[in-house]
Chain A
Amino acid sequence: MIKNLKRLDLIFKNEQDTEAILEKTLARSNEEIVNDLIDSGLKGRGGAGFPTGLKWRLAADDPADEKYIICNADEGEPGTFKDREILSSVPNKVLAGMAVCARIIGSKQGFIYLRNEYKFLVPGLEIVISEFHELMDRLNLEFRVAIFMGSGAYICGEESALFESMEGKRGEPRNKPPYPTNFGYKGKPTVINNVETLAHTYSIFKYGPDKFRDLGIKDSRGSKVFSVSGDTPIPGIYELEFGMTLQKFVDDFGDGDSKAVQVGGASGFCVPRKKFEKTIIGYQGKLTGVSLPTGGSMMIFNSSRSMYNVLRNYLDFFVEESCGQCTPCRVGTQQLLLGIEAVKRGEKPSGYLDKLLELAETMRLTAKCGLGQSVANSFSSIVENFREEMIY
């Protein structure tokens, strides 16, 4: 089943009923709430798509008595600004999600890890947080939230690098396992969720899991906030239902000459026109055909764009933003960038692209964190679909 393009107004609807919703939700047992989240099919909106209810349960099951909940608002992916929008218009929903999570896992302290460039949000957020703390007192919840300013490095959005940076160390991703739900901030069980994920939990508390499930398709439930940019007459932030084909998306947002869409930013996939019809926006799952995970960036390219330049920009970004600790990513990104440049200049034969494709695959298989692992997404999809543009 394929959904028609539907614009929604779930997340951004300004609802003034936080206290009532929290009261209603907290009256239920932890088990019931978690089951609802699992039934809703909500998956993390930060990119990896991990089932949110399950994440909370894993942290709840850990017997440690010091635990944390962190809202990931690092939003470093170029061309993405949906979390900023959510935090400035409906921060109460995010905080409510954190409060419920805190009750469930047994956490007394939450943090919003805020992208350094979003400093201007702090005064407003601080007011909302202090009201929220009063609400916590009224609800007899011993829970506080503090803002932590990000370091400015893209890699610090990766959860374990984020913990390291919060601990005052260099933002380098850790080995996994152990996972954050057992060993997160300060080595304590930690739930880390994307801003949007937390805002969605609020809708689920309010409207129930079924309403959420009704949206989207199998494996990809609910709605998603997208940052649409590139060659589009109507760039901006849109909440759309999961499960549409890229064709429908382009019909609505493109400029009539779209040749490719980069789904999920630099670490996402590039889909060429001929695959628009067969590509469904959603998480990877067996039944959805060719589907794509996405943190929310949708960048449309029309036929005037050089895909070589597009790829080069992405690689430039990775060469700089890799934390540099692991070999495949640190050296691999440099080799990919220099490699396509050498092919373009005719210093390497076009067959060198195949060696680079192999390298990208090795990076996917062996890099330590999601950054290095996902370079292959854009690299391979662009090189495979636009090979001539790489050479001539």
Chain B
Amino acid sequence: MSDQVTLKIDGISVSVKRGTTVLDAAKTINIRIPTLCHHEDLCVAGNCRVCVVEQTGTDRLIPACAMPAADGMEIHSNSLKVRNARKQIVELLVSEHRAECTTCYKNGNCELQALSHEYIIGENGYINLIPLKEYTIDYYSPSIIKDDSKCIRCQRCVRTCDELQGVGALTVSHKGSEMKISTFMDKPIYQVVCTNCGQCVNRCPTGALVERHYIDEVWAAIYNEKKFVVVQTAPAVRVALAEALGHEPGEIVTGKMVAALRRLGFDAVLDTDFTADLTIIEEGHELLQRLKRALKDKDPDVKLPMTTSCSPGWVKFLEHIFPEFMENLSTAKSPQQMFGALAKTFYASKIGVEPASMVSVSIMPCTAKKYEANRPEMYASGYQDVDYVLTTRELALMIKQAGIDFNSLADDDYDSIMGESSGAGVIFGATGGVMEAALRTVYEVVTGREVPFDGLNITPVRGVEGVREASILINKTLPEWSFLEGVELKTCVAHGLNNARNVMKAVRDGSASYHFIEIMACPGGCLGGGGQPIPTSSDIRKRRSSAIYQEDSQKVIRKSHENPEIVQIYKEFLIEPLGHTSHKLLHTKYTARERY
């Protein structure tokens, strides 16, 4: 059997690899067939039926997303029969939908809305089913709002949570007219195993799953004269924000973003990248301390491998699914929460602002960060350390609301202190970035030399594979670290919680042994976070990733421990890594949770 098949779509002959769907075959010749349930990150569902096309010789229409292309097929993607059917299918969806676009958060970025526009659905005559049904809106989670009246039952969310995340918080329940997307016992999202990662939000084609937004609260703080509003921006925001403002993926807009934030009225514009560097120092030393206890002191209680703790979706996942590994999680807080704790202590006193009158806002690529900021552990400053978390999408919306012409903004710089960062802080936004940043510092602490990689680029930990392993041989150590002489430091990097689950299972059953594991809840790391601009795809994530590594390579300072502001904060305030103040402000505890 030949590897290629040749078919005709709308009269155009096209050859594709066997197994390619009609939908993807059409894409190669720039014919767009509309879809709703299809998402390139997910397995084929074939349930919305808007992608139906006509095949010569077949009476029934066939779903382009689910049908493999075959030799000799003659496909018509836009025949009268197809158009009529498609239009009726969209009409049916709208009849079951609380189609109130003007009051809907997804207005303007909604696939159902776009399709309704294309097919001029208008008053279609079908009976509106919404008043006849009971539906629930779950707005109890600090991260995610689930509105069943906006759901088209495409099951993208279910597949996302199941296939990519291995969480299974969302399921389909009931059948027929009652069929809906549900959770364990139909509990609100915040009471179940959901990690708040927002990957489902990123893939929901409608307004049925959206982030809980805090835009109005943030405006209120900005307008409140008595409040000093500081804002921090996560590493992955700067490489994606532009997409939400009409640019191509992969553009870095750090300077314009800073300028926009200042124009919005934030009193200080600071950088989470700074606390990313700080995380590296704390977490790196924690790793070294654990290695020392294990290898030198032969302490049987020390837990290895150590896993990163900067991804709150991952942390909650572990608390639910692998609570027996809670002590393996680094106690270091995420950069967002380190920032929050320092903002209302160190920074407040530095600039002479009462912490009580400070409002701390963060711009994150992430919905789980909203939840993290609300965790009871996150009041180290005596106040809620981070008051409001906005996603990249929310920031884009604020920029639009303010009438700012983003393109014409001149680049601006972060305020200081807590605005400076190294390249190591920047790459936190990509999968493998924390590992690379940590190795750049840890290796140098132990040996006094730079990591033995060309240009400090530790390429084995970079990439897109779901799980990557790399080891680095430590030799010629400084005397203090002689117990590490000849040790091969074994590391593992995983992104997407399903991959995380596999790694932890391997660790549990002993089939894998590592010293240090980096896990990011979202595919691609934070750059693919649940708060990033929609849509997402592997190509978009790749472009954001290249942008991040480009930003790193252009930085003068590439290593966290060389960030002068890091040096300064240890000198003035923290004194030493893992010291008393660090423990109070920068480290945290975890909570075991139910498995459902």
Contact = CB atoms under 8 A, between A and B. Distances in A.
A332 B85 CA distance: 12
Given A352-B125, A365-B61, A366-B60, A332 B92 contact: yes
A362 B88 contact: yes
B48 interface: yes
Contacts of A330: 96, 153, 176-177, 179
A8 interface: no
Nearest to B36: A327
A321 B174 CA distance: 10
A324 to B, nearest CB: 3
A359 B88 contact: yes
Interface string A344-380: 0000000010010011001011111000010000000
A325 B179 contact: yes
A382 B93 CA distance: 26
The interface residues of chain A, by DSSP majority, are classed as helix
A331 B49 CA distance: 12
Interface string B95-133: 110000000000000000000000000000111010010
Given A320-B177, A365-B81, A327 B126 contact: no
B175 interface: yes
A389 to B, nearest CB: 21
A362 B176 contact: no
A172 B50 CA distance: 19
Contact of A365 (B60, B67, B126, B174): B60
B56 to A, nearest CB: 15
Contacts of A359: 88, 92
B89 interface: yes
Contact of B63 (A175, A320, A324, A362): A175
Given A327-B92, A373-B60, A365 B52 contact: yes
B155 A325 contact: yes
B52 A324 contact: no
A327 B49 CA distance: 7
Contacts of B177: 319-320, 322, 324, 330, 333-334
Contacts of A322: 175-177, 179
Contacts of A307: none
Nearest to A324: B179
Interface stretch (A79-87, A90-98, A102-110, A335-343): A335-343
A328 B129 CA distance: 14
A326 interface: yes
Interface in B13-53: 44-50, 52
A155 interface: yes
Contacts of B129: 331, 334-335, 338
B66 interface: yes
Interface residues of B, number: 40
B152 to A, nearest CB: 8
A58 interface: no
B95 A319 contact: no
Given A324-B175, A325-B47, A331-B96, A362 B89 contact: yes
Given A352-B125, A362-B89, A368 B46 contact: yes
Nearest to B172: A170
A225 interface: no
A322 B81 CA distance: 24
Contact of A324 (B67, B89, B126, B174): B174
A340 B81 CA distance: 25
A354 B317 CA distance: 53
Given A342-B127, A355-B125, A365-B52, A328 B92 contact: yes
Interface string B168-181: 00011011111100
Contact of B49 (A323, A334, A339, A368): A368
B48 A326 contact: yes
Contacts of A177: 67-68
A352 B44 CA distance: 35
A366 B48 contact: no
A366 B68 contact: no
Contacts of B50: 327
A5 interface: no
A331 B95 contact: yes
B84 interface: yes
A129 interface: no
A310 interface: no
A89 B82 CA distance: 49
Nearest to B97: A331
A231 B235 CA distance: 75
Nearest to B178: A324
B330 to A, nearest CB: 37
A153 interface: yes
Contacts of B126: 335, 339
Interface in A273-324: 318-324
Nearest to B127: A338
Interface in B166-196: 171-172, 174-179
Nearest to B86: A366
18 contacts: A155-B175, A175-B46, A321-B175, A324-B174, A324-B178, A325-B45, A325-B47, A327-B152, A328-B92, A331-B129, A334-B129, A335-B127, A359-B92, A362-B89, A365-B81, A368-B49, A368-B63, A373-B60
Interface of B: 44-50, 52, 59-61, 63, 66-68, 81, 84-85, 88-89, 92-93, 95-96, 125-127, 129, 132, 152-153, 155, 171-172, 174-179
